[in-house]
Chains A and B, each alone.
Chain A
Amino acid sequence: MQALLNAVERDRGGVAVVWCPDLGLRSWLADEVAVLVPSARRPQRVSSLEEALAIPDQLALWLPNNEREAVLDLDGSRDLLRANPPRTQPIVLFLLRNGDGAEALSLEATSLWSITAGSTVDPEELSEIDPEVERGHFRAEQGQTVEEWLQRWRKGELAQTGQNCMVAYKAMLLEAT
């Protein structure tokens, strides 16, 4: 989530791209961005470039119906983003990972691709962990394997503190079941 926030924060008047695995998660991710940023940024969903340009001082969350058209519109209108009054909040474009928009962005909208290079984020992909690597980290941090720690936890040998509950959740995520 911090990576998502960083992508939105990076260029206040620019464009950020959020990659979404499917349409259901696209809507949810837009809601998540809206709640991650301070209310003062007044996030608002838009469905066209015109709607986004009409709110230069608000965070525009654009969920396009036609992804390719949206990418090409934005690519051809980059100067408008710097027009008077200049945007003070970015446009966040939500695109499907393997959709028409992704293809258009890499093949047809190379200028937009270059300006959004540091402001693209795939939050679902970023949250993925390799359990074997994390089991190693767990052992280094706790001095015990996941199974050894959980055995003590389940026997009630460890206090029910927030910190221990957190470690228990991490261990259970990595436990081989």
Chain B
Amino acid sequence: MSPWLDLYDQHQKVREGARDKVHALRVVLKDLAEKSILTRECQSRLTSATNKNTRRTDWILKPEPLRIHRLGEIDRKELMVEEAKLTVLLETQEDHIIQMTLMVEAVRRDGKPWNIAVHISEDRIHEKNPNGDQDGLGSCSHALLHCHPDLDHPVEIRVPLPPSRPPCSYNG
């Protein structure tokens, strides 16, 4: 198996065990709320809605204020971020993650935006998404976890990243 296909398989495995991953995310939100990095009881605002016809479920945490300067390991002066918001989005079906977005939107002291996001692309193949989660050009076009320089320009050649540990390995 080529390294790229192997990488794709590893990424696909990240999609399984959706309920446990939602729970693991809630554990992280609770920890951040109890450290006053997120607002009180933020973990309860990760809410779900299930389409009764398709049985697909959205898990949504609306943009929440994130006191990023309280993260001990981040030096605020160096980061120069004044305010930040965290958004958490998942779409699941049965115990499978269809897509996921974690996004931090911040404003630097100089007023410029500072954003970081992790997307797991939609893998459902349908008329509007004929290629599923395979996108971009190049031998690593299928790399689910990838980086690109900004959020508003579609990437043509993805820079692949290895599958990261799921949030269940978070230990505060």
B39-66 contact mask (Cβ, 8 Å, vs A): 1 or 0: 0010111111111111011101011000
Enumerate chain A residues within 8 angstroms of B99, measured Cβ to Cβ: 169, 172
Stretch at the interface among B1-9, B22-30, B68-76, B131-139: B22-30
Main secondary structure, interface of A, reads helix
Q: Which single residue of chain A is at the shortest CB-CB distance from B125? A: A177
User: How far apart are the CA atoms of A161 and B89 in the complex, in Å?
Assistant: 12
Are B50's CB and A162's CB within 8 A?
no
What is the distance, in angstroms, from B22's C-beta to the closest C-beta of chain A?
A: 8
Contacts known (A36-B43, A159-B152, A162-B103); A169 close to B51, Cβ less than 8 A:
no
A131 within 8 A of B: yes
Residue of B nearest to A132 (CB): B53
B91 & A35 in contact (Cβ 8 Å cutoff): no
Pair A177/B124 contact, Cβ less than 8 Å? yes
- Check: A107 CB closer than 8 A to any chain B CB: no
Contacts known (A154-B128, A161-B105, A165-B87); A35 close to B27, Cβ less than 8 A: yes
Q: How many residues of A contact B (CB 8 A)?
A: 35
For chain A, residues 122 to 177, give those with C-beta under 8 angstroms from any C-beta of chain B: 124, 127-131, 134, 150, 154, 156, 159-163, 165-166, 169-170, 172-175, 177
Residues of B within 8 A of A (CB): 19-20, 23, 26-27, 30, 34, 41, 43-54, 56-58, 60, 62-63, 85-87, 89, 91, 99, 101, 103, 105, 117, 122, 124, 126-128, 151-152, 154
Given the known A-B contacts A129-B52, A169-B101, A170-B58, are A28 and B23 also in contact in the complex, defined by CB atoms under 8 Å?
yes
> Would A1 and B48 be within 8 Å (CB), given that A28-B19, A166-B60, A166-B63 are in contact?
yes
Query: Given that A127-B49, A160-B151, A172-B122 are contacting pairs, would A39 and B34 also be in contact in the complex, using a CB cutoff of 8 Å?
Result: yes
* Smallest CB gap from B86: residue in A: A162
B-contacting residues, A85-117, CB 8 Å:
none
Bound Cα distance from A129 to B54, whole angstroms: 11
